[in-house]
Amino acid sequence: MTNNAPDKHFRKRMAVPEFFGRSPDDTSAEEWFVEMRWPDGVACPHCDCTNVQDRAAHHNQRFRCRGCGRRFNPSTGIVMANSNLRFRDWLFAIYELRTSLKGVSSIRLHRDIGVTQSTAWFLMHRNRAAFTDEHRSFKPLASLGYCHAAVAHSARAYCGGEVHTNGNESLWPMFKRGYVGTYHHMSEAYTGRCVGAFVVGHNIRPLNTDKQLASVAARMVGRSLPYRRLVEA
């Protein structure tokens, strides 16, 4: 894999005060998700109609589609669906995940955003669910100015010009440090999702924080991880 992103020394990492300056409350965080999901205007997730009424009178479904008549909100049909957590909690969890090279534990997130550890644990797994479809997960990278290329391992090729597998040599030591220093234990049932999330996170690390957050938001659409499926894994 190669990239045409700025050199890492010039990469802009959003500091915590800047994050809270941009998203001071739940309303601003919700607007961020709306903008990320529908940059060209809100479209109904049920029928794709763009004739949508905003602020329709309803306690938690702010949009109403004039085409099919159904109501929805910014989290309908994405990995955040049916969550009681605030938009700002989700956005902060994404920020924490993307700015911490070795990952974030559920204990730390539980203390940072003031939810129970089990809620933080569920939140982290749902965030990782946004990363685990490899075929789709790389697609948003091109639109973010990042070039994805592959090496034909099946043809026993491990280096093709600037495309090579040496990046793996820095990936696994970092994953091991996250395992030893942050997570301490990883259930076999969840290892695949954790590794998948870590690998994709590693691949988008040259992007500025802004673009990394946008990349996560793009991956959330069309994915879900109900609590029952998680605990029965």
Q: Which residues bind Zn ion (CB under 5 A)?
A: 44, 46-47, 49, 65, 67-68
What's the min distance (Å) between Cβ of 92 and Zn ion?
Answer: 31
DSSP labels, 172-186: HHHHHHHIIIIIS--
* Least distance (Å) between residue 221 CB and Zn ion: 16
What is the CA 183 to chain-centroid distance, rounded? 19
Q: Which is nearer to Zn ion, 72 or 92 (CB)?
A: 72
Shortest CB 60 distance to Zn ion, Å: 18
- Burial of 79: CB neighbours in 10 Å, binned 0-12, 13-18, 19+: buried
Degrees to nearest 5, angle at CA 91 with 28 and 21:
50
Which residue, 41 or 161, has its beta carbon nearer to Zn ion?
Answer: 41
Closest CB to Zn ion among 44 and 141? 44
Write phi, then psi, for 47 (nearest 5 degrees).
-135, 5
Q: How far is the CB of 151 from Zn ion (least distance, A)?
A: 43
Smallest distance from Zn ion to CB 71, Å? 9
Q: Which is nearer to Zn ion, 49 or 56 (CB)?
A: 49
State how far the Cα of 99 lies from the Cα of 202, in Å rounded to an integer.
11
Which residue's CB is nearer to Zn ion, number 68 or number 142? 68
Neighbours of 132 (CB within 10 A): 19
